[in-house]
Amino acid sequence: MEPRPPLNDVDDLTAAFVNCSLKYDRHSSHTAKLMDRAAAVMRDAGASVDMIHALDHTIEFGMSPDMTKEGRPADDWPSLHARILDADILVIGTPIWLGAKSSVATLVIERLYASSGETNEKGQYLYYGRTGGCVVTGNEDGVKACSRDVLYALQHIGYTIPPQADCGWLGEIGPGPSYGDDVEGSDVPAGYDSEFTNKNTTYMAWNLLHTARMLKDAGGLPAHGNTAATWQQVPNAAPTG
């Protein structure tokens, strides 16, 4: 067997992790604990990580990049958005409530969408050339449904989604320990020994790094057929059948 080629360096890559927990205290957030595991994989590889706890900030509802211009008294979103744009990778973390992603996750995605009509230096929509993933925790069914919602939204506004771009953990249905909680009779916090969760978290972290590396090395996606200036230059295929 030939030796495995060396991994591409990732020390010039940055990931922004946005925790959309409903808990104001980051340290009590179960979603934060799983996001920390994914972030640790990236840090160990050499990438930089920017951790954002959404409820540490004032994020207004609305479809403007800066809601103070719409009359709101304060809005931290412009500075948060700048941090997200500085990153090659965006990971959104959310707990599951009533089988769906948190209202904070919806708010963050809506504010991202408010800038989706802006363009980059190539004339593509603003988020082209970046890659996205998500982390989901809860004690009821819904990891795949929440991941579907988040990843669809990210690709719709321009993020590139690699394979296995999500990870999650579910406890028993109903009341019980959430991810990272102490478990009676065990010295291992809930979920920490889940091979499935740990595997998918590692896969997600590396697939995000690999995809970000490829995009960065390629200078992003080619600007042909996906800008206002070029899409009409692509001949329309004649319908068949």
Give pLDDT, residue 229. 85
What radius of gyration, in Å, describes the C-alpha atoms of the chain?
19
- Least trusted range by pLDDT, from 6-10, 38-42, 118-122: 6-10
Domain annotation covers residue 240:
no
Q: Would you give the DSSP letter of residue 231?
A: G
Query: How far is the CA of 139 from the CAs of 7, 9, 124, 172, 175, in angstroms?
Result: 36, 37, 40, 6, 7
- Please report whether residue 179 resides in a domain: yes
Any domain includes 76? yes
Task: List, in sequence order, the alpha helices (H) in 63-194.
Answer: 77-85, 103-113, 143-156
User: Is 5 inside any structural domain?
Assistant: no
Domain assignment present for residue 238? The answer is no
Q: Is the pLDDT reported for residue 2 higher than 60?
A: no
Domain membership of residue 1 (yes or no) is no
CATH number for 172:
3.40.50.360
Residues 81-91: tens digit of each pLDDT: 999 999 999 99
Percentage of the chain lying above the pLDDT 70 cut: 93
pLDDT tens for each residue of 94-134: 999 989 999 999 999 999 999 999 999 999 999 999 999 99
- Split into its structural domains, the chain has a count of 1
Check whether 235 has a pLDDT greater than 70.
no
What pLDDT was estimated at residue 6?
A: 52
Boundaries of domain holding 48: 14-233
